[in-house]
Amino acid sequence: MSNNPKIMTIRTGILEENDRRAQILRRNFAKNKTTVINVVSSPGSGKTELLTVVSRELITKGLHVCAIVGDLSTDHDAKRLASSGAHTYQINTHGACHLDARMVKQGLKTLPWRDADILFIENVGNLVCPASYDLGETKRMVLMAVTEGEDKPLKYPTMFHSADICVISKIDLASVAEFDEQKAIQNIYDVNPDILIVKTSAKKRIGIEELVTNLLAK
Amino acid sequence: MSNNPKIMTIRTGILEENDRRAQILRRNFAKNKTTVINVVSSPGSGKTELLTVVSRELITKGLHVCAIVGDLSTDHDAKRLASSGAHTYQINTHGACHLDARMVKQGLKTLPWRDADILFIENVGNLVCPASYDLGETKRMVLMAVTEGEDKPLKYPTMFHSADICVISKIDLASVAEFDEQKAIQNIYDVNPDILIVKTSAKKRIGIEELVTNLLAK
């Protein structure tokens, strides 16, 4: 996102176009009864590891899972996520700092998403730009690792304000990272009083069942 | 950064304009013998904590330190950094995902930078967009915390390719984060064989002296 006036004018048009595309996606997802989760965070907050564990859990319950993974480069994350059994499609943005609704539509063409109960869209690791791009999701989920400190909601308010679920990830490292959980939760609620907070550790399988229940809740 | 063709065309013009402004800054910094470090990373990699410790060390050695701190919102980081004794100026980008040369020029007006031996520019926490914006810096330093995993250089190649120094931060957490240091170093060199790597922990005062020496090296 840029604050240059020339880019801002064009961005307004692009965002309006993106919003229109996202609304069409949203209607199609709803008609098909597919829950779509747009997953956003800083680089390295543990999106892929968490989604791999959650997808495995959902598949064990007999649900069908698809995933679209966005990265500037490499297909490492898609390969990791596919190991869960989810049908996975990698989008390489080649420098672009976010996914948009057009890219998601493109990704859907090669995925059996109409059979899916749940579709995860793992966005590019970036707490700024993806906040402005609606992907037609049912819910937006932002991760914040305990190792990133407590102040991220205050410093990246648009992202935390636009999310439905906030996952405090890598909770097993809270004590060694000297993470002040109460302060973090206060900061999250200060920016978004309606958000649902779930604490997880993909590594130690903490909070996974609670997250799965909330993802599937209507 | 967007890959939309309309935005890309305008961006080329904006980047050229930014490059021109940055070259003027670079000449002024060189004429004044001020070493300028553009500090970039993901959100929460520990830029502010490291710069606070490093600034304190430099000031103890009798050097003059200034700092410009970029954030979308809040002035928390500037306040923390100012506690080191460095003259500090906060830029709030109000949604913009990077600093540019124009903002830096603006920040310089209120800082006694002509007396400074070293000027730190702490960029917005974002591994994508700041990579494209030259700030007239002498050196670019990218941080990568051990808690973010080993693959960041491969997934954000432009940033790591454009940096002169890579700091592997929070090294005191390497073991609990199960960080594979050899793999990380290989990934960094794969993207940028000429980069200098320094391992640090601001909390445990590891690597600070080595980093200071390298920052001041011509």
B85-110 confidence digits (pLDDT tens): 999 999 999 888 999 999 999 999 99
Minimum mean pLDDT range among A10-19, B51-60, B123-132: A10-19
C-alpha–C-alpha distance, residues A60 and A16, integer Å:
39
Residues in chain B: 218
Do the chains contact at A173 and B170, CB–CB below 8 Å?
A: no
Residue in B closest to A75 by C-alpha: B155
Other Cβ atoms closer than 10 A to A95:
17
The rounded percent of chain B whose pLDDT value lies above 70 is: 96
Tens of pLDDT, residues A160-178: 999 999 999 999 999 999 9
Residue B14 has which token pair?
């904006």
pLDDT at residue B199 above 70? yes
How far is Cα B131 from Cα A50, in angstroms, rounded to an integer? 28
Please give the span between the terminal C-alpha atoms of chain B, in angstroms, as a whole number.
Answer: 32
Q: A73 CB near a chain B CB, below 8 Å?
A: yes
Model confidence at B13: pLDDT above 90:
no
Q: Could you tell me the end-to-end alpha-carbon distance of chain A, in angstroms, rounded to an integer? A: 32
Q: Are B43 and A173 inside 8 Å of each other by CB?
A: no
Whether B43 and chain A come into contact, CB under 8 Å, resolves to yes
Contact state of B97 with A155 under an 8 Å Cβ cutoff? no
* DSSP character string of B100-169: -HHHHHHHHTTS-GGG-SEEEEE--S-SSGGGG-----SEEEEEEEGGG-S-HHHHSHHHHHH-SEEEEE
The number of CA neighbours under 13 Å toward the Cβ of A68 is 31
Q: Residue B136: which region, alpha, beta or left (left: phi > 0; alpha: psi -120 to 50)?
A: left
**In chain A, what residues touch B1 (CB-CB under 8 Å)?**
95-97, 129
Q: Cβ(A116)–Cβ(A87) under 8 Å?
A: yes
pLDDT digits (tens, 9 = 90+) for A116-159: 999 999 999 999 999 999 999 999 999 999 999 999 999 999 99
Distance from CA of B29 to the nearest CA of A (A): 25
Taking CA B141 as the corner, what is the angle to CA B138 and CA B143, rounded to the nearest 5 degrees? Answer: 170
Asked if the C-beta of A148 comes within 8 angstroms of chain B's C-beta atoms, the answer is yes
User: In this complex, is the C-beta atom of A1 within 8 Å of any C-beta atom belonging to chain B?
Assistant: yes
> Is A154's Cβ below 8 Å from some Cβ in B?
yes
Q: Measured between CA atoms, how close is B83 to chain A, in angstroms?
A: 18
Nearest CA distance, A147 vs chain B (angstrom): 7
Q: Determine contact: A31 vs chain B, CB below 8 A.
A: no
Cβ contacts of A173 on chain B, cutoff 8 Å:
147, 173, 176-177
* Residue A92 three-state SS: strand
What's the whole-number average pLDDT of chain B? 95
What residues of A are in contact with residue B7 (Cβ under 8 Å)? 7, 10-11, 14
Half-sphere exposure at residue A75, Cβ-oriented, CA atoms within 13 angstroms: 9
> What interface predicted TM-score (ipTM) does this complex get?
0.92
pLDDT more than 70, % of chain A: 96
> Which residues of A fall within a CB distance of 8 Å from B145?
44, 147
Name which of B129, B8, B71 is nearest A6 in CA terms: B8
Question: In angstroms, rounded to a whole number, what is the distance separating the alpha carbons of residues A68 and B10?
Answer: 29
Question: C-alpha distances in angstroms, B61 versus A167, B32, B56, B209, B213?
Answer: 43, 20, 9, 11, 12
Contact B96 A2 (CB under 8 A): yes
* Cβ–Cβ gap B74/A151 under 8 Å: yes
pTM of the model: 0.95
As a CATH number, domain B4-216 is 3.40.50.300
**Closest CA in chain B for residue A171:** B177
SS3 assignment for B34-74 = CEEEEEECCCCCCHHHHHHHHHHHHHHCCCCEEEEEEECCC
- Token readout for B180 is 């594979």
From A13's Cα to the closest Cα of chain B, the distance in A is 10
Structure tokens at A8: 């801002």
Instruction: Report the residue of chain A nearest B159, measured CA to CA.
Output: A95
Q: Does residue A74 belong to the interface with chain B, where contact is any CB pair within 8 Å?
A: yes
The span from the CA of A119 to the CA of A106, in Å, is 14
CA dihedral B207, B184, B136, B37 (to 10 degrees): -10
Of A71, A94, A176, the CB nearest to B176: A176
Beta-carbon contacts below 8 Å between A and B: 143
Candidates B45, B47, B72, partner chain A, best to mutate (most A CBs within 10 A): B72
Cα angle for residues A15, A23, A100 (degrees, 5° grid):
45
Shortest CB distance from A155 goes to which of B43, B127, B154?
Answer: B43
Q: Are B125 and A155 in contact (CB under 8 A)?
A: yes
**What confidence tens digit (pLDDT) does each residue in B24-52 have?**
999 999 999 999 999 999 999 999 999 99
